[in-house]
């Protein structure tokens, strides 16, 4: 028995949201199974006791799946550990143990359980997908790519897996294979959330801004609540001096994520470009409220104060810029500083 991709517990990947279904259809209630166990197991003939053991394993599967479904992760983990102790050669229970561990942030134990599940049954595609999720959560992109390649050799029609493989490739600076995976994902699922965004991001990293902007706008249509597509598109429009279009996109990002730092900073840059210094000052101060060590915002604010004739304020901001430089402040500029 294997855990289907549609069941895999919510939260195991930050990239895909949505509902999922239970692992198996509910059969006998666990209460009924356990109350009956002490009596019926004793009266079963020897040849039937193997069948009873299989039902008991199935009950574990159902119980752990129900607990994970209800976000009772502590109980699910305890139950999964008991289950694999009783059935150490069950690939399905090892997989569920891995899922429970991962939900609890126990990545090393999760990886061990998923690998054990693969050893027990290397034909189950889901095990490779699960292992890839653990590797991606630790930015182990080469290992994740290897697992996803194996998964897709068994399940080539999974669009989500192709997006994940594309992300792994892109982070390994394999941009062309990444683009190919994103395109294949969209062929399989044209409305898949984040697929257009990641394709646009890959195009932008190549300098193909026209194609990138088109993909960001498509993501906005398919996934209007995702702020990154708006402000990344706004950056492109700002770079082209399309200030009105840029402002609209930055405001669009802020309408779905009120404290989006990059959108606030983009809006401030629009005001600076228009010489609207009072508005620029207010916007830059909002950026710094959200992110006090935003070096570029402090520098832009210092320049703005200079132009407003606020000498003391400008000197203060320049001192902050120098302090941030001295502390090795994290300066993230342009596409290289963003992480999809």
Q: Is the pLDDT of residue 157 over 50?
A: yes
C-alpha to C-alpha distance for 8 and 12, rounded to whole angstroms: 8
Q: Is the pLDDT of residue 32 over 90?
A: no
98, 196: one domain:
no
C-alpha to C-alpha distance for 195 and 200, rounded to whole angstroms: 9
In a domain, residue 31? The reply is yes
C-alpha to C-alpha distance for 30 and 27, rounded to whole angstroms: 9
Q: Is the pLDDT of residue 224 over 60?
A: yes
Total tally of structural domains belonging to the chain? 2
117, 175: one domain:
no
Cβ atoms of 103 and 74 closer than 8 Å:
no
82, 120: one domain:
yes
In a domain, residue 241? The reply is no
Highest mean pLDDT: which of 47-56, 84-93, 146-155?
146-155
Which CATH number characterizes residue 161's domain? Answer: 1.25.40.10
DSSP 8-state code for residue 8: S
pLDDT band at 194 (very low <50, low <70, confident <90, very high): very high
| Whole-number pLDDT of residue 127 | 93
Mean pLDDT of the 190-196 span: 96
Mean pLDDT of the 3-26 span: 37
In a domain, residue 292? The reply is no
31, 124: one domain:
yes
Cβ atoms of 33 and 154 closer than 8 Å:
no
Task: Tell me which residue range forms the domain holding 198.
Answer: 156-223
- By CB atoms closer than 10 A (0-12, 13-18, 19+), residue 131 is buried
5, 117: one domain:
yes
In a domain, residue 57? The reply is yes
Token reading at 38: 């002490």
3, 133: one domain:
yes
Report the percent of the chain where pLDDT is more than 90: 76
pLDDT band at 334 (very low <50, low <70, confident <90, very high): very low
| Whole-number pLDDT of residue 327 | 86
100, 168: one domain:
no
In a domain, residue 299? The reply is no
Long-range CB contacts for residues 316-322, cutoff 8 Å, separation at least 24: 321/295
Nearest to 10 by CA among 79, 93, 98, 99: 99
The answer to which of 17-31, 149-163, 201-215, 238-252 has the lowest mean pLDDT is: 17-31
In a domain, residue 326? The reply is no
In a domain, residue 64? The reply is yes
In a domain, residue 327? The reply is no
């Amino acid at each position: 028995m294997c855990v289907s991709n549609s069941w895999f517990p919510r939260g195991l990947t930050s990239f895909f949201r949505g509902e999922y279904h239970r692992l198996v259809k509910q059969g006998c209630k666990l209460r009924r199974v356990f109350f009956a166990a002490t009596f019926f197991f004793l009266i079963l003939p020897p040849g039937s006791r193997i069948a009873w053991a299989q039902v008991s394993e199935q009950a574990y599967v159902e119980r752990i799946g129900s607990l994970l479904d209800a976000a009772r992760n502590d109980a699910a983990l305890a139950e999964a550990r008991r289950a694999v102790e009783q059935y150490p050669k069950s690939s399905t229970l090892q997989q569920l143990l891995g899922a429970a561990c991962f939900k609890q942030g126990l990545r090393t134990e999760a990886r061990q359980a998923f690998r054990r599940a693969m050893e027990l049954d290397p034909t189950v595609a889901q095990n490779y997908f699960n292992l890839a999720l653990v590797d991606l959560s630790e930015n182990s992109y080469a290992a994740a790519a290897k697992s996803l390649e194996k998964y897709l050799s068994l399940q080539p029609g999974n669009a989500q897996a192709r997006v994940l493989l594309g992300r792994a490739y892109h982070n390994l600076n394999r941009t062309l294979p990444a683009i190919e995976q994103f395109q294949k994902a969209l062929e399989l699922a044209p409305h898949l959330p984040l697929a257009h965004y990641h394709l646009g991001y890959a195009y932008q990293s190549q300098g193909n801004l026209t194609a990138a902007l088109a993909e960001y706008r498509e993501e906005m249509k398919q996934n209007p609540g995702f702020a990154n597509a708006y402000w990344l598109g706004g950056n492109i429009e700002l770079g082209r001096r399309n200030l009105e279009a840029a402002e609209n996109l930055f405001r669009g990002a802020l309408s779905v994520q009120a404290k989006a730092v990059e959108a606030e900073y983009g809006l401030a840059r629009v005001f600076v470009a228009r010489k609207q210094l009072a508005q620029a000052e207010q916007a830059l101060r909002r950026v710094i409220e959200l992110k006090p060590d935003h070096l570029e915002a402090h520098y832009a604010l210092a320049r703005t104060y200079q132009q407003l004739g606020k000498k003391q304020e400008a000197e203060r901001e320049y001192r902050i810029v120098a302090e941030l430089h001295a502390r090795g402040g994290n300066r993230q500029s342009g596409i290289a500083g963003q992480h999809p």
